[in-house]
């Protein structure tokens, strides 16, 4: 198991910049929470990682199935599907397990994770196989969906690297790197990587998914209070990009330390 702590470029407490004093944990408005990757907590998965962003922790695993959904059979192309769950003790009030019927929130997040990860793959190179990604939230302090995407991409990259080295795949289907982060307006101030104390009172909440070329894959934005302007939206996206670049850097560092 290897770990990657937040680097100075993450904008955490170790970066030496003075805080503006507006956030409970002392971060500046453009600061990420400390980010860490702990490899292979699940020994039977193709690959797994626990990603921690501040107090939020998500365990992401990847398994390979030698089949595709029925509607995909005969196409020569593979598939990726993602599941997402909050574990019962992941929040201050116990979350009942979602069994037969998933909430609308859970379904929305699963689709977001799935789309974000499929966008980084050449599914033809995967062949008629399915990558099953599971994201289970161990502790939720906001940003669980963005942490899940960031961690799941890292687990996926390691899993595909292993399949290529084992000779299961002739070449890696991985086309690009992907990470995600939240931004928002809280008391009129634009903040990066909101924790729960900020997310719960945000006037605007935005989740941004980006690849390593700076291309946007997903934007989820909601005006929780008053409508927001195009100028404010552009400002939030400008705030998100350096944070996303820092998360991409942390992913690369973590993968460099991961065992094959």
List the domain boundaries for the chain: 8-257
**CA–CA gap between residue 142 and residue 161 (Å, rounded):** 30
pLDDT of residue 22: 64
Find the helix or strand (DSSP H, E) in which 181 lies.
strand 178-186
Out of 92-106, 114-128, 208-222, 243-257, which region has the weakest mean confidence (pLDDT)? Answer: 92-106
How confident is the model at residue 8, as a pLDDT?
A: 31
How much is the pLDDT for 31? 96
**179 within 8 A of 149, measured Cβ to Cβ:** yes
In this prediction the pTM is 0.91
Taking CA 58 as the corner, what is the angle to CA 109 and CA 221, rounded to the nearest 5 degrees? 35
The phi and psi torsions of 244 (rounded to 5 degrees) equal: -65, -40
The C-alpha atoms of residue 228 and residue 56 are separated, in whole angstroms, by 27
* Cβ pair 142, 194 in contact under 8 A: yes
Instruction: Give the CA distances from residue 44 to residues 14, 67, 138, 170, 205, in Å, rounded to whole numbers and listed in that order.
Output: 35, 19, 19, 23, 37
For 52-65, what is each residue's pLDDT tens digit? 999 999 999 999 99
- Mean pLDDT score, 142-160: 98
The domain made up of 8-257 has a fold known as Ribosomal Protein S5; domain 2 (3.30.230)
Q: Over range 192-207, report the average pLDDT.
A: 95
Distance CA 28, CA 190 (A): 11
pLDDT, residue 259, reads 87
User: Comparing C-alpha atoms, which of 90, 117, 112 is closest to residue 177?
Assistant: 117
Tens-place pLDDT, residues 2-50: 344 333 333 333 332 333 446 888 999 999 999 999 999 999 999 999 9
What is residue 9's predicted lDDT score, i.e. its pLDDT?
Answer: 33
What confidence tier does 260 reach under pLDDT thresholds 50, 70, 90?
Answer: confident
Label residue 231 by pLDDT band (50, 70, 90): very high
């Amino acid at each position: 198991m290897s770990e990657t702590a937040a680097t100075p470029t993450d904008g955490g407490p170790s970066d030496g910049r003075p805080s503006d004093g507006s956030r409970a944990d002392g971060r500046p408005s453009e600061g990420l929470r400390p980010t860490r990757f702990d490899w292979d907590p699940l020994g039977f998965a193709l690959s797994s990682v626990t990603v921690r962003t501040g107090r939020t922790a998500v365990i992401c695993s990847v398994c390979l199935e030698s089949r595709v959904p029925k509607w995909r059979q005969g196409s020569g192309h593979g598939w990726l599907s993602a599941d997402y769950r909050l574990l019962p003790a992941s929040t201050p009030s116990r979350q009942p397990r979602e069994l037969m019927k998933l909430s609308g929130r859970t379904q929305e997040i699963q689709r977001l994770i799935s789309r974000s990860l499929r966008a980084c793959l050449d599914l033809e190179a995967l062949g008629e196989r399915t990558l099953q990604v599971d994201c289970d939230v161990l502790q939720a302090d906001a940003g669980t969906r963005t942490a899940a995407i960031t961690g799941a991409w890292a687990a996926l990259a390691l899993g595909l690297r292993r399949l290529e080295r084992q000779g299961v795949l002739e070449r890696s289907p991985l086309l690009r790197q992907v990470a995600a982060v939240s931004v928002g307006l809280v008391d009129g101030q634009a903040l990066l990587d909101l924790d729960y104390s900020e997310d719960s009172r945000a006037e605007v909440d935005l989740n941004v998914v980006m690849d390593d070329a700076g291309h946007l894959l997903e934007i989820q934005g909601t005006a929780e209070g008053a409508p927001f302007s195009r100028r404010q939206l552009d400002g939030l996206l400008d705030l998100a990009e350096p944070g996303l670049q820092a998360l991409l850097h942390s992913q690369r560092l973590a993968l460099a330390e991961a065992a094959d």
